[in-house]
Amino acid sequence: MNESIDFRKSDTPAVAAVSVWRAEGDRCILCPDELAVEEPLEIRLAFDRDGRRVRQGVSVTMRTPGHDRELAVGFLFTEGIIRAPEEVAGVEDWGPGNVVRVELRPGVDVNVDRLERHFYTTSSCGVCGKSSLEAIRVDSGVGPISGQPMVEAATIRVLSARLRASQGGFDRTGGLHASALFDASGRLIDLREDVGRHNALDKLIGAAFLAGKVPLHDAVVLVSGRTSFELVQKAAVAGIPVLAAVGAPSSLAVELAREVGMTLVGFVRDDRFNIYAGFERIAGLEAPA
């Protein structure tokens, strides 16, 4: 049997068309299939240091191609390297591909110590390569506003279905995570997909950042997988008050959510969910006496 699997051109850079051997009972047939594309993206930064212009590589992340500029600025923002859209002079694709350069305006102050860690981020790990535990925590700057907004429990229950109905890339490949931005009434505002959970959230936040909509003080964000410390941290930097997930949070994610005053919800299903932090923002529930 010919064991080679041929990759073919797809209609989007996020999806690879392939031929696969599919086992059905005791038969094996050659079928078309689609995979989520995973490729490296280098993020570069141009900024002023000691009176001269510096161009420096900041990160290499494994991501799904698409919305690369949003991913780059979202990463730089949630890592505390840039603070406001006004600091960014331009974002451009650089070189033959898989490189994005973010140009900062002259005079913008950059945390050089953070840059010199030269982050290496895989699609499954948002803090790999950081040189110390102190480097993991980023000053959120704004954070959520206490008690705002109020979200009905019935709204939380429908978010998962609305996310799933809008995951075009996942429908085709079964291999992409998603982060979705909702308002407090449950209306879907924006959605991004990526092979990496952290990248999907960075793309979502990056889009809001470039549009001048951060901090996202009235937003609800739902992520398709589990909730890690890094995702809570990124959400806190963007001022997101309610972070919900289809899966479970880690203990450190819960600890950080409580520390910054975020509502953290997990195991969101049609009829149930768990509240790990920020119970006071969820309306329509009876609290035990």
Is-catalytic flag, 31? no
- Model confidence at 21, pLDDT cuts 50, 70, 90, reads confident
Q: Which of 28, 31, 125, 128 is catalytic?
A: 125
In a domain, 289, yes or no: no
Q: Residue 249: which CATH number?
A: 3.40.140.10
Q: Whole-angstrom Cα distance, residue 216 to residue 15?
A: 30
User: Do both 111 and 158 map to the same domain?
Assistant: no
User: Do both 229 and 112 map to the same domain?
Assistant: no
In a domain, 59, yes or no: yes
State phi, psi for 102 to the nearest 5 degrees: -105, 120
pLDDT score recorded for residue 120: 45
Q: What's the structural domain count of the chain?
A: 3
Query: Judging by beta carbons within 10 Å of its beta carbon (0-12, 13-18, 19+), is residue 76 exposed, middle or buried?
Result: buried
pLDDT score recorded for residue 96: 72
% of the chain beyond a pLDDT of 70: 85
User: Do both 26 and 47 map to the same domain?
Assistant: no
User: Do both 199 and 125 map to the same domain?
Assistant: no
User: Do both 22 and 57 map to the same domain?
Assistant: no
Give the model confidence (pLDDT) of 35-45 as tens digits.
999 999 999 99
More confidently predicted of 145 and 65: 65
Q: Whole-angstrom Cα distance, residue 252 to residue 236?
A: 14
Give the model confidence (pLDDT) of 123-137 as tens digits.
455 554 443 344 445
Question: CB–CB of 185/55 below 8 Å?
Answer: no
pTM: 0.89
User: Do both 13 and 64 map to the same domain?
Assistant: no
Q: Whole-angstrom Cα distance, residue 269 to residue 161?
A: 8
User: Do both 111 and 24 map to the same domain?
Assistant: no
The three state secondary structure string of the chain is CCCCCCEECCCCCCEEEEEEEEEECCEEEEEEEEEECCEEEEEEEEEEECCEEEEEEEEEEEECCCCHHHHHHHHHHHCCCCCCHHHEEEEEECCCCCEEEEEECCCCCCCHHHHCCCEEEECCECCCCCCCHHHHCCCCCCCCCCCCCCEEHHHHHHHHHHHHHCCHHHHHHCCCEEEEEECCCCCEEEEEEECCHHHHHHHHHHHHHHCCCCCCCCCEEEECCCECHHHHHHHHHCCCCEEEECCCECHHHHHHHHHHCCEEEECCCCCCCEEEECHHHEECCCCCC
In a domain, 141, yes or no: no
Give the model confidence (pLDDT) of 46-71 as tens digits.
999 888 999 988 989 999 999 999 99
In a domain, 160, yes or no: yes
User: Do both 156 and 275 map to the same domain?
Assistant: yes
| Across 112-126, 238-252, 265-279, least confident range | 112-126
In a domain, 113, yes or no: yes
Q: Which of 69, 103, 136 is a domain's end point? A: 136
More confidently predicted of 17 and 2: 17
Q: Which of 136, 163, 188 is a domain's end point? A: 136
What number is the average pLDDT over the span 173-198? 94
**Range of 83's domain?**
39-136
In a domain, 164, yes or no: yes
Average pLDDT score over the chain: 86
Give the model confidence (pLDDT) of 199-222 as tens digits.
999 999 999 999 999 999 999 999
User: Do both 185 and 262 map to the same domain?
Assistant: yes
In a domain, 167, yes or no: yes
Question: CB–CB of 104/92 below 8 Å?
Answer: no
User: Do both 107 and 59 map to the same domain?
Assistant: yes
Place of tokens 């429990």: 153
In a domain, 1, yes or no: no
Residue 160: is its pLDDT beyond 80? yes
User: Do both 162 and 80 map to the same domain?
Assistant: no
Q: Residue 44: which CATH number?
A: 3.10.20.10
User: Do both 83 and 207 map to the same domain?
Assistant: no
Q: Which of 136, 160, 176 is a domain's end point? A: 136
